[in-house]
Amino acid sequence: MNAEIKRGSLEMIAAMLISGTIGWFVLMSGQPVINVVFWRCAVGALVLLAICAALGQLRRDSLTRTTLLVAIAGGVALVVNWLLLFAAYSYASISIATAVYNTQPFMLVALGALFLGEKLTLRKLFWLVLAFIGMTLVVLAQPKQAGGQNNYLMGILLSLGAAFFYALMALAAKRLKGTPPHLIALIQVTVGALMLLPMVDFHARANAGQWGMLVTVGVLHTGIMYVLLYGAIQKLPTNLTGSLSFIYPIAAMLVDRLAFGHRLVALQFAGAALILLAAAGMNLLGERRVRLAAAPGGKQAPEQ
C-alpha cells in the first residue's frame, strides 16, 4: 500500500467513524430537528468558508450561473435529507434508520434510469430485489407494544424519504463535475441555513453541554468530516472508497447499541444485513466488473 492510499484510507475511516456518531449527538442535543440541522448548516458554513478561502476556491470564475443553480438545488435536497433522517432516529432507532437509509443507491439507480437514461441491468435488478426483501423483513419486525407500530413505521418512512432526497442530491452532484467539492458543500450548507432560518426556534432551551453538541455537529460532523471525506475520495480508487463507506452504518449501529442499548431482533438484523449486502453488491461488485471489462484481455484496469 503506497503512502497516498494509506493516508486516503485513514481519512476515509476517520470520516466514516465520525459520521457513525452523529445520531448520538443529534439525540443528546435535546433540540428540535430543525434547530439541529440549522446549527449544523450555520456552523458548518463558517468552517467551510474558512477552508475554501484557505484553498483559494472563493473565486468568481469557480462557478457558472448553471452550476450555482444546480448546487443550490442539491443543497435543498441535502438539507431535507438531514431533516428526515434526524427525525427518524427518534421513531425507529439509529440502527434501523441508518440501515433503511442505505437504500439510497437504489433510489439513485431508479432516478438515473428515469431521468438520465441509464440502463437498468439484471445485476442491478437482483440487488434491488434483495434490498426490497431486506426492507420487508425490517418492516415485519415492527414492535408489538401499544403505539410502537405507528412510530416504527413512521421512522422507516422518514428514513426512506431521507434516502430519496440524498439520491436527488447525488443526481445533482453528477452535473457538477469539475466544481471544487468544498465549494459545493459551502453552497449547500449556506442554502440550508438560509432555508431554515425562518423556522428555527431560537427560544428553545439549551444548556452548555447541548450547545457543545450542536457546535460539534457543525464543526466535526460537517466541516472536518467534509475535508476528510473529499481528501479520501481524491486519493482512493472507487472500489476502496465504496468498501470503507460501510464503516458508517456499522459504527452507527454500535453507537446505538452501546449508548442507548438498542439491540436488533432477528428479523431486523436479517433485514438490515440484506440491505447492506445489496448496497455493497451495487457499489462494489458492479465497480469491479466495470473495471475488468474496460481492461484489455479482461485484466484489471489500472486505477486512475
**71/184 Cα distance (integer angstroms):** 6
The terminus-to-terminus CA distance of the chain in angstroms comes to: 15
Least confident of 118-127, 132-141, 256-265: 118-127
Residue 263 has pLDDT above 90, yes or no: no
Cβ within 8 Å of residue 222, ≥6 positions away: 40, 41, 43, 44, 47, 48, 185, 189
The three-class DSSP label of residue 127 is helix
pLDDT at 297 over 80: no
The stretch 178-200 carries a mean pLDDT of 93
For residue 171, what pLDDT is reported?
Answer: 85
What pLDDT does residue 63 have? Answer: 84
| 200 or 113, higher pLDDT | 200
Region 247-275 average pLDDT: 90
C-alpha to C-alpha distance for 204 and 194, rounded to whole angstroms: 19
CB 204 within 8 A of CB 2: no
Average pLDDT over residues 167-181: 84
Structure confidence at residue 116 (pLDDT)? 73
Task: Indicate if the pLDDT at residue 37 is higher than 90.
Answer: yes
Hey, where are the domains in the chain?
Answer: 3-117+151-200+211-267
pLDDT of 287 over the 70 cut: no
Q: Is the confidence at residue 235, as pLDDT, over 60? A: yes
Residue 201, pLDDT > 50, answer yes
Compute CA distances 38 → 42, 44, 304, whole Å: 6, 10, 38
* The predicted structure's pLDDT at residue 165: 95
Among candidate residues 196, 208, 182, the one with its CA nearest the CA of residue 82: 196
pLDDT score at 120:
77
The larger pLDDT score, comparing residue 244 to residue 72, is at 72
Per-residue pLDDT band at 202 (split at 50, 70, 90): very high
Cβ atoms 265, 138 nearer than 8 A: no
Find all residues with CB under 8 Å of 153, minimum gap 6, and list them: 139, 142
Query: Is the pLDDT assigned to residue 47 strictly greater than 90?
Result: yes
pLDDT at 254 over 50: yes
CA dihedral for 253, 258, 260, 264, sign (positive or negative): positive
Question: Which of these ranges, 90-99, 141-150, 196-205, 287-296, has the smallest mean pLDDT?
Answer: 287-296
Residue 237: the pLDDT is 81
Torsion of CA 212, 213, 216, 218, to 10 degrees: -110
Range from 24-33, 124-133, 143-152, 163-172 that averages highest in pLDDT: 24-33
At residue 121 the predicted structure's pLDDT band, cuts being 50, 70 and 90, is confident
Mean pLDDT over each residue of the chain, to the nearest integer: 86
Maximal CA-CA distance, the chain: 66
Let me know: does 4 contact 233? Beta carbons within 8 Å.
no
Q: What is the mean pLDDT of residues 202-220?
A: 94
Contact at 8 Å (CB) between 288 and 149? no
